[in-house]
Amino acid sequence: MNQKQILFPILISAMLTACNGSKSDIVKTNFDFATKQFNYAFEEMKLAIENESEQSIHERAVNNWSELTNPRNIEPGGELRLVPSKDWCSGFFPGEMWYMYEYTNDEKWKDLAHRRTIILEREKLNNRTHDMGFKMYCSYGNAYRITQNPAYKDVLMQSAATLITRFNPNVGCIRSWDFNAETWDFPVIIDNMMNLELLFWAWRESGDSAYYKIAVSHANTTMANHFRTDNSSYHVIDYNPVTGAVQNKHTHQGHSHESAWARGQAWGLYGFTFCYRETQNPAYLEQAKKIAHYIFSHSNMPADLIPYWDFDAPNIPDEPRDVSAAAICASALYELSVYVNAGLRKSYIEKANTILSNITKHYRARLGEQKGFLTTNSTGSKTHNSEVDVPIVYADYYFLEALLRKQKYE
């Protein structure tokens, strides 16, 4: 064997090692950061609980809400906002702890994840909300997926059973909100796509086809009525609960009824991607691809792929960004890349990588700041001047999920 024959495989091995190292560096870097930042987060959570106002304590008592559980955002005055279990965001922080355990295999994170998860158990019977997937699948769902502990499974099954009580066969959808009765009769929001993953899980675990049929009905009805000809999505579709007819096509958190609220587009991309995974229905795959094309070919998408809070916001470029929408898109793109041809796969991965890189460089919190949140510059609802350009927990959750998916799928 000559010298070239010896050196060539060594060179190839070194190149592969370097490439693999570069791919994993951003994952390791961010989880190393999260390890330190979450230690700080728990200190801030303890202080927030100790300093809970008398008004907040009274409000929880009157409404029979649980104790303050997990972080949601930073308030305009700089205070850390913790929420009771009923809040739709209560399950994201436990999910982050499960992702920390999944990545590190450190029992410390498993214990913290369990503690943050079990305080949500009462929500398994809460039929006043469609957000069962966000609350219970992000927390208990990850818990069961990683540990296979049957106690987690039991809570999840009850959560799924509770969720389908909100299904209306005349409409073909799960009702989203119970508020604003003077505005909508049967509102369904694009966000509700995310809760279908819990139903697909319940179908696979129980064999009860009712869960599958309801999830598919909701996805099909959403696909038929939520999307415009350019493949952007309305936020809220209001149905007649008796006839199932569409009555209004609105927004609640976007700029206007005909605008494209950025996080709503991200929910649709993510939702139809996993609907394809669960059903292998090519219509769902095509819908996800169409949504991705809309998002990433839009003239108002910034070069760093961190969208403004609404693609049609009136004062672009002087509008807040929404890192949460970007993180959701990145996570969805890594999975979507598995189901498409090589050209699209490369494009989706490049876009997801760009998002993660730019979040890491420009939208990640400084260590020991921002009350322990990982990311900055998310926007909940600028329309209501709520959670504008601040750290929000679901941005962090999907950021960690996207990092884990990058490691898995790439």
Which residue among 106, 111, 131, 208 is the active-site one? 131
What average pLDDT does range 244-267 have in this prediction?
98
Contacts of 69 (CB under 8 A, 6+ apart): 82, 83, 84, 85, 90, 116, 119, 120
Query: Which whole number is the average pLDDT over 188-198?
Result: 98
pLDDT of 134:
98
Taken in order 325, 329, 330, 331, the sign of the CA dihedral is: positive
Predicted local confidence at residue 79, as pLDDT: 95
Q: Each residue of 121-162: pLDDT tens digit?
A: 999 999 999 999 999 999 999 999 999 999 999 999 999 999
Q: pLDDT class for 55, splitting at 50, 70, 90? A: confident
Residue 24 has pLDDT above 70, yes or no: no
Band the pLDDT of 66: cuts 50, 70, 90: confident
pLDDT exceeds 50 at position 21: no
Q: Cα(161)–Cα(158) distance, rounded to whole angstroms?
A: 5
Q: Which of 54-68, 75-89, 119-133, 188-202 has the lowest mean pLDDT?
A: 54-68
Residue 58 clears pLDDT 90, i.e. is over it: no
Is 32 tagged catalytic? no
Q: Which two tokens stand for residue 141?
A: 């769902």
In the residue annotation, 131 being an active-site residue is answered as yes
CA distance linking residue 388 with residue 381, whole number of Å: 7
Q: Is the pLDDT of residue 10 over 50?
A: no
| Mean residue pLDDT across the chain | 94
pLDDT digits 0-9 by tens, 171-189: 999 999 998 888 999 999 9
Q: How confident is the model at residue 410 (pLDDT cuts 50, 70, 90)?
A: confident
| pLDDT tens readout for residues 307-366 | 999 999 999 999 999 999 999 999 999 999 999 999 999 999 999 999 999 999 999 999
pLDDT digit string, tens, across residues 375-403: 999 999 999 999 999 999 999 999 999 99
| Domains of the chain (ranges, CATH numbers) | 28-409 (1.50.10.10)
59 pLDDT tier (thresholds 50, 70, 90): confident
Tell which residue, 173, 198, 199, 197, has the closest CA to residue 184.
173
DSSP per-residue string spanning 248-309: EEE-SSSSSTTS-BHHHHHHHHHHHHHHHHHH--HHHHHHHHHHHHHHHH-TTS-TTS--BS
Task: Give the model's pLDDT for residue 23.
Answer: 52
Q: Residue 17: is its pLDDT beyond 50?
A: no
142: phi then psi, degrees, rounded to nearest 5: -65, -35
Q: Is the CB of residue 312 less than 8 Å from the CB of residue 259?
A: yes
**Is the bond preceding residue 317 a cis peptide, omega within 30 degrees?**
yes
Confidence of residue 13 (pLDDT cuts 50, 70, 90): very low
Q: Around Cβ 272, how many Cβ atoms within 10 Å? A: 28
Q: Which residues of 204-214 are buried (b: 16+ CB within 10 A; e: fewer)?
A: eeeeeeebbeb
Q: How far apart are the first and last CA of the chain?
A: 35
- Distance between CA atoms of residues 245 and 188, nearest Å: 12
| pLDDT cut 70: percent of the chain above it | 94
Catalytic residue among 106, 154, 185, 191: 191
More confident residue, 159 or 57: 159
